Amino acid sequence: MAPAGLPASLPLCVCLLLASGFAQAGRLLVVPMDGSHWFTMQMVVEKLIHRGHEVVAVVPEVSWQLGKSLNLTVKTYSTSHTLEDMNREFKYFSDTQWKTPEQSMFSFLTGSAKHFFELLFSHCRDLFNDKKLVEYLKQSSFDAVFIDPFDVCGLTVAKYLSLPSVIFSRGVFCHYLEEGAQCPSPLSYVPRILLKFTDTMTFKERVWNHLSYMEEHVICPHFFKTATDIASEVLQTPVTMDDLFSQVSIWLLRSDFVLDFPRPVMPNMVFIGGINCQQRKPISKAFVDPLDVCNLVVTKYLSLPREMVGWSAE
């Protein structure tokens, strides 16, 4: 099990992209995702600031948590939607999930999630409509962009500025992780998300897994259409999600390979399991060491007569 603190590989991987030399601090542009996604990314941003790197976050004026309580430069831009719009769409999305949990990727991507994410995707157009902010980003000479891929705008910003991008995520909708990282994901052994299969699938389950994968290729471009349309406008060329994800330099995956299905991984995919664990204060000495309690229970158990604990040699 990974430790609750930041893994040793995480600061190293990010810093290699940020600095031209090991003794020189880098400049990092952060394009975060709002809500609970920001809580996890915030820990890494704080660590980078503590190590002397210059961090600039680009966030919309309308948000729940973005850019708050951090000692960093925050650049904001106005949005075409209000906080009430975000609250309404998210409430509808969350209420729908509680009442009728999605049973497939198709129902999830075509249901309540689509409207909520379209609202989030739309703020990228607002970002690039702020010409003063865009000019600042172009002139700032950042070393890399730190991205949450659920906010596709970060990928668009990285491609627009021609900067290395570092993705920080638990996973990615659809097939864009394995195809963007050129990482094989054998359909006979790796179940698609939401199918609830194991890595020892029956023939029928494997067929269904292949059909689900084909379904993703049909549905996912439609789900991300707002995001790719905006990216195409900004970059002035037709853009697909494959184009955006294929540029990623490093994938920091907030998971642990022992918790995922066995599959190949690429050298630029780094597992940072334990990053989601909240760091607690040390237990007071007034509490008994759980190992001592365990030893006490075992000792008492072994000293009891066999008939009292239901133990049998058979």
pLDDT at 155 (0 to 100)? 94
Q: Taking residues 219-232, what's their average pLDDT? A: 91
What would the pLDDT profile of 238-259 be if each residue is shown by its tens digit?
999 999 999 999 998 887 777 7
Query: What is residue 283's predicted lDDT score, i.e. its pLDDT?
Result: 62
Computed over every residue of the chain, the mean pLDDT equals 77
Note the pLDDT tens digit of each residue in 160-193: 999 999 998 887 878 888 888 888 888 888 888 7
CATH number of 9-284: 3.40.50.2000
H-assigned helices in the chain: 9-18, 36-50, 83-99, 105-110, 112-129, 131-139, 153-161, 176-180, 203-223, 225-235, 241-245, 290-303, 306-309
Q: Tell me the one-letter amino acid at 238.
A: P
Q: pLDDT over 70 for what percent of the chain?
A: 73
5: number of Cβ within 10 Å: 13
Mean pLDDT to the nearest integer, 145-174: 90
Write down the pLDDT at residue 24. 62
Which distant-in-sequence residues (6+ apart) come within 8 Å of 26 by Cβ? 15, 17, 18, 19, 20, 53, 54, 143, 144
Which of these, 46, 53, 6, 51, lies nearest to 28 by C-alpha position?
53
pLDDT at 302: 42
Q: Model-level pTM?
A: 0.75
